[in-house]
Structure 1
Amino acid sequence: MVTNDRLIMPTRVVRDYLNSSLVWSDFLTQGGFVSGDIVVADPFKAGTTWTQRIIQQILDNGEERKDALSDTSPWLDSSFGDHATMLAMLKAQREAGERRVLKSHLPADAVPIAAQARYIFVGRNGKDLGISFHNYLSQFSAKTMDEINRIHAEWSNDPTRLVIPESVQEFFDKWLDTDGYGCCDLFDVVRSWWKLRDEPNVLLVHYRRLKEDLRGQIVRIAEFIDVEPTRLRLDVILEHCSFGYMRERAEQMAPFAGTHMRDPKAFFHKGPARDYHAEITPEQSARFDRLALEKLGTDCAHWLETGEERPGASAGGRRQAA
């Protein structure tokens, strides 16, 4: 466990329709990170909830909690979340000596990086991610969208409303044209965390690896957060972390317990079965690949697409791809 007191403060503020990094200053004011804390970071729909669930199940050794996942593992830097309640819960967890799990959809340089905390960054093929993101946003309730737009207009003085196109192909183009459609800049987020891949308290996880070898990835994550895998009820944890199991308990698993959506089960839409080939054009796919190469570089773009490292990767690269 990394135990020194080194803290890298955020170097920029990031705010958009869905995210606000400002709340991290309140988190630091009330005590900040302690040894054992875990942050799950990624762009939207890369596998955040899946990874949170895996960590929760590792820490609880397969036991189920009564509380919804988001009630104990909050999306702290959401623009429209109840930050006071989340901060109070995190403070109570710290005082009780519980290991805390937070999630973020921000770039690494907008988040405090504490040596005593562990950071797990999750990547996913960006074309599947973009399509899944469209489905997620299109399922937000009218009440939620009104709240998001009200908050955004207040701080930005921009009355432009976030409107989600019905067509996934139209959304995909707008998402690429505008660096995330004002919701999350995929390339910015991925690039910033990729730079930290060699840090001893940062682990890169990929959606494809979770899909193809869930047992192996559970073991890998357990080792990273200092839980002995041989003591885990792995078969139980595997069942509890399966897509079908989580989808049937969508109200327990979805962010905000699904209250921001028209139907919580829509959060678990196609999951591992999603295939961008059936939903966007070959031209859109090729355009994404060109942008990824331009904005991420060859090694990072390859990892985001496949979950695999290229030959000659650094020691950190070998650790993340094992």
Structure 2
Amino acid sequence: MNPHRYHSAMEDSHRWLDFPMRDDDIVICTRSKHGTTWMQMICALLVFQTPDLPAPLPELSPWLDWTIAPKDAVFAELEEQLHRRFIKTHTPLDGIPIHPAARYIVVARHPLDAAVSLYHQGSNLNRERIAELTGVPVPGSKTTQRPELRDWLVGWTLAGNDPRKFPDIFPGVMAHLSDAWTRRAEPNILLVHYADLSADLEHEMRRIADWLEIEVPESCWAELVQAAGFAEMKAKAERTAPDPLGLMRSRDAFFRRGESGAAAELLSAEELVAYEARVETLIPKDLADWLHRP
């Protein structure tokens, strides 16, 4: 059975159907604003074992299903890579073929924190540039004044959009993580929590390296962990931000804060209760407990 198709003006998951995988490929399969770029940097540092990467991060780790970049060019770029490849996708695991020997990493984040980051990312996008590249006019909803963050966040938690048509809205995010959660015991799938990266980056990088079967000399760890930190990535935003075609108003603004836990404070006690009730209808309790833990 073919994977589900996730298709929009900027993404087409069916590109994966034609992509020739290698046995040692690493696929970073993470929803928007859940730590995709962070995991790309971690993988880059583990593969090259130096903070001095040979090219900007978006070149080393292309977004395969991004339709703005021609498919043949992306495939050719990846074919030319001689190092162990680490490839970006925002498509859930049920939307891509699972190669039995490749490795798939899914990063999860507290949904409210991810949503706040998504809101600010929307303000940083150059909609006119996107329309120029996609040929799709800027939607009317994007040309009017945006609601305040709190009102937008409440609406995001209550949305009922089709997960396959709107994967960044709440039901889509929950479907992405729920699908990955059901596969977590599979040997080539790893779930990583954004909060764990924040709390103990070195521990998580060592865990990821062990799982990828990458040996890192002990003398390298300190500088690799430092290079994967938020401050270092923000300082090098021109080479780390996922913006090869100028879709952002500011690459520096892409790395806004990188913190966890503050988003829930935007909602009232009643709104948080409603959010938690909604979570119960969308994902199993063990996933909810893991996802929302401190």
With normalisation by structure 1, the TM-score equals 0.81
Q: Is 2:65 aligned against 1:77?
A: yes
Deviates more, 1:214-223 or 1:77-86: 77-86
Alpha carbons of structure 1 residues 224 and 232: separation in structure 2 relative to 1, 3 Å: farther
Given that residues 38 and 102 in structure 1 are in contact (C-alpha distance below 8 angstroms), is that contact kept between their aligned partners in structure 2? yes
SS at match of 1:120: strand
Alpha carbons of structure 1 residues 174 and 183: separation in structure 2 relative to 1, 3 Å: farther
Distance in 2 (CA, whole Å) between partners of 1:148 and 1:189 is: 27
Amino acid at match of 1:201: N
Work out which of the residue numbers 212, 219, 230 in structure 2 matches 1:243: 230
- Counterpart for residue 8 of structure 2: 16
Distance in 2 (CA, whole Å) between partners of 1:146 and 1:215 is: 40
- Counterpart for residue 52 of structure 1: 40
Q: Is 2:246 aligned against 1:259?
A: yes
SS at match of 2:259: helix
Work out which of the residue numbers 154, 159, 178 in structure 2 matches 1:173: 154
Distance in 1 (CA, whole Å) between partners of 2:293 and 2:133 is: 33
Given that residues 58 and 232 in structure 1 are in contact (C-alpha distance below 8 angstroms), is that contact kept between their aligned partners in structure 2? no
Amino acid at match of 1:194: W
- The one-character-per-residue Cα deviations of 1:59-103 (angstroms, maximum 9, x if unpaired) are 11124124110111011112433433221111112xx3x211111
Work out which of the residue numbers 255, 263, 266 in structure 2 matches 1:279: 266
Report the Cα offset of residue 150 of structure 1.
Answer: 3.5
Distance in 2 (CA, whole Å) between partners of 1:233 and 1:286 is: 46
Distance in 2 (CA, whole Å) between partners of 1:274 and 1:253 is: 24
Alpha carbons of structure 1 residues 117 and 258: separation in structure 2 relative to 1, 3 Å: same
- Counterpart for residue 315 of structure 1: none
Work out which of the residue numbers 121, 124, 133 in structure 2 matches 1:136: 121
Would you say how many aligned residue pairs link Structure 1 and Structure 2? 286
Work out which of the residue numbers 76, 82, 106 in structure 2 matches 1:121: 106
Work out which of the residue numbers 76, 92, 97 in structure 1 matches 2:80: 92
Q: CA RMSD in A?
A: 2.4
> Residues 162-311 of structure 1: matches in 2 within 5 Å?
163=142, 165-176=146-157, 177-179=159-161, 182-184=166-168, 185-231=172-218, 233-257=220-244, 259-272=246-259, 275-306=262-293
Alpha carbons of structure 1 residues 147 and 23: separation in structure 2 relative to 1, 3 Å: farther
Deviates more, 1:223-232 or 1:196-205: 223-232
Alpha carbons of structure 1 residues 19 and 168: separation in structure 2 relative to 1, 3 Å: farther
Amino acid at match of 2:121: Y
- Counterpart for residue 3 of structure 1: none
Note the residue ranges of structure 2 that are not aligned, 5 or more in a row. none
Alpha carbons of structure 1 residues 208 and 10: separation in structure 2 relative to 1, 3 Å: farther
With normalisation by structure 2, the TM-score equals 0.88
Given that residues 39 and 120 in structure 1 are in contact (C-alpha distance below 8 angstroms), is that contact kept between their aligned partners in structure 2? yes
SS at match of 1:163: helix
Given that residues 36 and 118 in structure 1 are in contact (C-alpha distance below 8 angstroms), is that contact kept between their aligned partners in structure 2? yes
Amino acid at match of 1:224: W
Distance in 2 (CA, whole Å) between partners of 1:92 and 1:224 is: 25
- The one-character-per-residue Cα deviations of 1:271-298 (angstroms, maximum 9, x if unpaired) are 1266113434444433332222211110
Distance in 2 (CA, whole Å) between partners of 1:245 and 1:216 is: 18
Given that residues 42 and 105 in structure 1 are in contact (C-alpha distance below 8 angstroms), is that contact kept between their aligned partners in structure 2? yes
Note the residue ranges of structure 1 that are not aligned, 5 or more in a row. 1-8, 154-158, 308-322
Report the Cα offset of residue 270 of structure 1.
Answer: 1.1
Given that residues 19 and 78 in structure 1 are in contact (C-alpha distance below 8 angstroms), is that contact kept between their aligned partners in structure 2? yes
Report the Cα offset of residue 256 of structure 1.
Answer: 2.5
